[in-house]
Amino acid sequence: MVGREDTLSRSRIKYLALVLTALAAVFLVAGFLALRSLPRIARRIVVADLQERFRSSIEIGEIEVHGLIPPRIAASDIILRYHGRTDVPPLMMIKRLSASARLSGAWTRKWRVSSLHLEGLQIRIPPQEDKIPPFLAQESQPKLRWPAIEFDEVVADDALLQILRRDPGHKPRSFWIRHVSLRSLKRGEPAHFRAQLINEIPVGNIDSEGTFGPWNSDQPGLTAVTAKFAFTNANLGQFRGLSGTLSSTGEYSGVFERLDVEGDAFVPDFHLSVSGNPVQLRTHYVAVVDGTNGNTYLESIDAQFLRTTLKVSGEVVDPPGPPRRRITLTVTASKAQAEDLLSLVTRENRPPISGVVNLHAQFQLPAGGGDIVDRLSLNGQFEIIRALFENPGTREKIDALSRRGQGKPENQAISDVTCDIRGNLQVRDAKAQFSMLEFMVPGASASLKGYYGLKSEAIDMHGNLRLSSKLSGTTTGLRSVWLKALNPFFKNGSGGSVLPIKIAGSRSNPSFGLELRRHEKPAWTRAGP
């Protein structure tokens, strides 16, 4: 009886082993078939997700799947064409991607990718379309709806972001991305990102962190972004005629095609090539960047250096036609310091004039290879109140002019005279042209026209000098007696004198003189009709 039960038990064990062996064979065959099918399934999943997410046609080279739990996917030569269009550059190109997936959420129709790494990523944001083109992808409506894919983290190195212009003749706005990571990337929701970029002009490093998305598949240029940034090590020497290293921090928000930017910038060693005197420059700015044409609109800039603050607004634009970037600024100063402003355009350690300046001017700086001073165009009005000249010789001449103008040529108590200067000027070709320059001291005033060379520092000014006293009162002794005979020839309507004068020489050594050939004779000396 016992032997019979042992025989029966052994038969059951053999039967069970046979069943298990058969099941194992079935599972092995099924696993083998599944592994062979995984690349095809993965391709369909990737294509369906990318088309749904970006509304673009998809081209994929090879797809490899390694492992099963969890599956690891690799794909190469991926191209996304915006709405299937071939008349514009691809929306996105990826040389290679690799991902590690988790299937835990598949039963809830959500697949999660723990990490996705992109190599050779290039993104080109097309300009906004007036009419959204139809989606031309052949596989835009897959028969099988795959679960949505969510990404825990997406990482890319050495990527390129370009915002294409409406005018194809203009270069796109380019950003080289050293490293970018996005976390919690879900369809229809914004993602958090951190990025290190290289700015194109001026070259510098940008660290940025904020939120991006959700992606606007119909109008990618309208995808939202909000972030803080730090811009460092920007060399202003790229702009010929400028020098200094710029750093800036701030924040931006909006969409790719239009970003509102606000921040603070600092240049510890800012200077123009025409001067060579570095100053610390601090600015607070509010601007709008138009990604469709690359234009930047400067709504307000407060620029502070030394003891002076300038109010600036304007734009940096590429006008229609051949790309010729142009900077146009309106600059206003109230109670600025003359010595601060002159330190930017003179090479002397101590500027020639001190005083309080009020200024309103329009600057225009077109693109070009020449020095900034040669390309600068300016129209403006200015006044310097209580100006005092630094050069002792010039200051003595101003004192003497005031004494003579008041009819007190020997009164040495009249000294360290300040003057008021105001005028209209234009700057072209490194030359400041004065259409009206008024110079006033107690007892005398001058109205002049002429120019001052910003590089040569040469002076050539002509005009009239008006004195409160008669000509004979400007001196003493026998010379005063002789000049009484000339009083009628140079008198003005208020009992004083008017003389034609000229100022020539250089900034450091000006010469003052009469220009009698321009003098208009009194009416009583002219010949009758």
Q: What is the pLDDT of residues 42-89, one digit of tens each?
A: 667 777 777 777 778 888 888 877 766 667 888 889 888 888 888 888
For residues 307 and 325, give the distance between their C-alpha atoms in angstroms, rounded to a whole number: 32
Residue scoring higher pLDDT (37 or 111): 111
Q: Is the pTM of this model over 0.85?
A: no
Neighbours of 3 (CB within 10 A): 7
* Strands 431-441 and 419-428, sheet pairing: antiparallel
For residues 469 and 511, give the distance between their C-alpha atoms in angstroms, rounded to a whole number: 23
Residue 302 pLDDT: 95
Question: For the chain, percent helix, then strand, then coil, each to nearest 5?
Answer: 20, 50, 30
Kindly state the average pLDDT of the residues 23-36. Answer: 42
Residue 118: closest CA among 176, 78, 166, 163:
78
Kindly state the average pLDDT of the residues 431-435. Answer: 87
Does an H or E element contain 422, and which? Answer: strand 419-428
For residues 32 and 30, give the distance between their C-alpha atoms in angstroms, rounded to a whole number: 5
Kindly state the average pLDDT of the residues 403-409. Answer: 90
Residue 370 one-letter amino acid: G
* Strands 122-125 and 148-163, sheet pairing: parallel
Q: Cα torsion at 396, 397, 398, 404 (round to 10°)? A: 110
Kindly state the average pLDDT of the residues 170-190. Answer: 84
Tokens of 68: 């099963």
Distance from the Cα of residue 519 to its chain's centroid: 52
Residue 484 pLDDT: 82
Tokens of 49: 């997700």
Distance from the Cα of residue 75 to its chain's centroid: 38
Tokens of 31: 């696993």
CB 327 within 8 A of CB 365: yes
Kindly state the average pLDDT of the residues 268-282. Answer: 82
For residue 131, name the pLDDT band (cuts at 50, 70, 90). Answer: low
**Given the structure tokens 């796109």, which residue do they identify?**
172
Query: Domain boundaries in the chain?
Result: 38-219, 391-525
For residues 289 and 165, give the distance between their C-alpha atoms in angstroms, rounded to a whole number: 13
For residue 135, name the pLDDT band (cuts at 50, 70, 90). Answer: low
3-state SS, residue 19: helix
CB 501 within 8 A of CB 511: no
Neighbours of 465 (CB within 10 A): 20
> 305 has which bridge partners?
281, 308
For residue 321, name the pLDDT band (cuts at 50, 70, 90). Answer: low
Residue 39 pLDDT: 59
For residues 49 and 63, give the distance between their C-alpha atoms in angstroms, rounded to a whole number: 15
For residue 166, name the pLDDT band (cuts at 50, 70, 90). Answer: confident
> What are the backbone dihedrals phi and psi of residue 277, each rounded to the nearest 5 degrees, phi first?
-95, 105
pLDDT tens-digit series, residues 358-376 = 999 998 877 666 677 777 8
Residue 177 one-letter amino acid: I
Give me the chain's average pLDDT, please: 79
**Quick check: 512 pLDDT over 80?**
no
Residue 74 pLDDT: 84
